[in-house]
A and B are shown apart, each in its own frame.
Chain A
């Protein structure tokens, strides 16, 4: 079994050791434990730091992303000087600085169906701090298939959720959300915004649940979904029993292998990454910002539709070129504000949301619809640098 704690460890963990619920045996269990963090972002940051400080023996970090200035408002693993570096690298530095006794393993690539089972099988517990639905379903299914428990957290704007999935006898993510939401129903953090301190709270709760699981103390969130509202400062709790008919963890499961989760979530072939400029549907006609600008200058009659959220619109928009503002979520109700006879160009930040809206308009019978390729970011790069990039 594990070697006895060394004198420096005894000193470091002294405030744990005097807790009867932890003690030397518990601290040795923490040191003997391994935890895999999916994402070194908003949730992964506080989770990693507290788990490291608590003395988890081995921490794995899966993240293929690079630190961006827009991350710094909440992702406290990364500092200003880390912008442009791999998140995995700055995460390791911070974690090791917090506690050099922790062994950190980096998996600086994207978790996918080809690698998830192998990685999961090397850790005792998984912390889901991912930022998109395909990864959430992938994490769930991989955890169920490998028998790992997932401490789940998710955030949006001012609200968060937390639970423990895949524990023996407990529910999994699919017991709650059997099917993914329609693509575009739920905005990402980039689209919806998030209060920076919110992932600090939810990610810390995740770390707490990991530690309780390892120590076997307290009452875990297995079978309970915690809903947190930061503005009201209120926690609500939903009883969440395992669903015997669940396709993943039910009595007769139908999921016996990992699948294509992009496809499953309706994100055909492309990716949902916040920073993606890729469109999600190949068949949507696109127009480059240069072509669009030329046509606008020529006086062509084009209805420009900005489908971003109000805060994004306020940062900079194409109102000078006649753009109208209809946030994506309001398009189904307000589509009649867009003349079906006119030529329509839809834009957003990077071109992903607007591709969905363009597809929606095409389905509704609009005949001349284009997606502005690369969104307002491309406009800022190639036409008007006074429009801020974000």
Chain B
């Protein structure tokens, strides 16, 4: 299945992309997606457990994903 990944702030800089498309095995979770991004797709600078939103709703990393889901990686930002 394919999921669309949205990246913001530091995660954009780490990956050089605002969006990525990931091809995952069925029944993958958000955590599997992060692992896929870090290893198979070579984005090793993404931390192993970032905050994510699935279809624009904050979700735990064990959330199962479905084909066509949109997963946003929400970076911690502290500047003020």
Interface residues, chain A, with chain B CB atoms under 8 Å away: 39, 41-44, 128-133, 136, 153-157, 159-161, 175-177, 180-182, 185-189, 192, 194, 199, 225, 227, 229, 236-241, 329, 332-333
Determine if A238 and B78 form an interchain contact, defined as CB atoms under 8 angstroms apart: no
Tell which of B47, B56, B58 touches A181, judged by Cβ atoms closer than 8 Å: B47
Answer whether A185 and B77 are a contact pair too, CB < 8 Å, given A227-B8, A238-B56: no
**Which of these, B47, B57, B75, B77, contacts A238 with CB under 8 Å?**
B57
For the complex formed, measure the closest distance between the CB of B29 and the CB atoms of chain A, giving whole angstroms. 17
Contacts of A133 in B (CB 8 A): 76, 78
Residues of A within 8 A of B45 (CB): 329, 332-333
Given A181-B47, A185-B47, A225 and B77 contact (CB-CB distance below 8 Å): no
A129–B72 Cα gap in the complex (Å)?
A: 24
B8 A39 Cβ-Cβ under 8 A:
no
User: A44 to B44, alpha carbons, bound, how many Å?
Assistant: 35
**Counting CB contacts under 8 A, is B13 at the interface?**
yes
Q: Which residues of A contact B14 (CB under 8 A)?
A: 329
Return B48 CB to nearest CB of chain A, in Å. 10
Q: Report yes or no: A182 in contact with B74, Cβ–Cβ below 8 A.
A: no
Chain A residues near B9 (CB-CB < 8 A): 156-157, 159
Closest approach, in angstroms, between the C-beta of B25 and any C-beta of chain A?
26
Question: Interface residues, chain B, CB within 8 Å of chain A?
Answer: 6, 8-10, 13-14, 44-45, 47, 51, 53, 56-58, 72, 74-80
Are B76's CB and A39's CB within 8 A?
A: no
Contact A188 B76 (CB under 8 A): no
Residues from chain B with a CB closer than 8 A to the CB of A181 are: 47, 76
Report yes or no: B47 in contact with A199, Cβ–Cβ below 8 A. no
Residues B47 and A129 in contact, CB atoms below 8 Å apart: no
Chain B residues positioned under 8 Å from A225 (CB to CB):
58, 74
B78 cross-chain contacts in A, Cβ below 8 A: 130-133, 136, 154, 156, 186, 188
Looking at chain B's contact residues, the main secondary structure is: mixed
CB of B8 within 8 A of CB of A332, answer: no
Cβ of A275 to closest chain B Cβ, rounded Å: 14
Expressed in whole angstroms, the Cα–Cα distance for A181 and B10 within the complex equals 12
Give CA–CA (A333, B14) in the complex, Å. Answer: 11
Contacts of A241 in B (CB 8 A): 57-58
Q: How many angstroms between the C-alpha atoms of A225 and B47 in the bound complex? A: 21
Q: Give the one of B47, B53, B79 with max A CB within 10 A.
A: B79
Q: Which residues of A have CB within 8 Å of B74? A: 176, 225, 227, 238
Chain A's closest residue to B53 (CB) is A238
Closest residue on chain A to residue B6 by CB atoms: A236
- A161 & B51 in contact (Cβ 8 Å cutoff): no
**Interface pair B79/A156, CB less than 8 Å apart:** yes
User: In whole Å, how far is A40's beta carbon from the nearest beta carbon of chain B?
Assistant: 10
Q: Write out the residue numbers on chain B whose beta carbons fall within 8 Å of the beta carbon of A332.
A: 44-45
| Contact partners of A187 in chain B: CB under 8 A | 10
Closest to B72 in A: A238
In the bound assembly, the distance between CA atoms of A108 and B79 in angstroms comes to 20
A236 to B75, CA, bound (A): 14
Known: A186-B75, A332-B45. A238 touches B80 (CB 8 A): no
- Known pairs A186-B76, A236-B72; list 18 more (Cβ under 8 Å): A44-B80, A129-B80, A131-B80, A132-B78, A133-B76, A155-B79, A155-B80, A156-B10, A180-B76, A181-B76, A185-B76, A194-B79, A227-B8, A227-B72, A238-B56, A238-B74, A240-B58, A329-B10
Q: A176-B58, A185-B10, A240-B58 are known contacts. Are A156 and B77 too (CB-CB below 8 A)?
A: yes
A39 to B13, CA, bound (A): 27
For the complex of A and B, the 4 pairs showing the least CB-CB separation, nearest first, are A239-B57, A131-B80, A154-B77, A189-B79
Q: Which residues of A contact B76 (CB under 8 A)?
A: 133, 177, 180-181, 185-186
Q: Given the interface contacts A225-B58, A238-B56, A329-B13, does A154 sit within 8 Å of B51 by beta carbon?
A: no
Determine whether the beta carbon of B80 is less than 8 Å from that of A239.
no
With a cutoff of 8 Å between Cβ atoms, the chain A residues found around residue B57 in the complex are 238-241
Give the chain A neighbours of B75 by CB distance below 8 A.
186
Contact of A39 among B6, B47, B80 (CB under 8 A): B80
B42 to chain A: closest residue by CB: A333
Q: Which residues from B are CB-within-8-Å of A177?
A: 51, 76
User: A39 to chain B: which residues have CB within 8 Å?
Assistant: 80
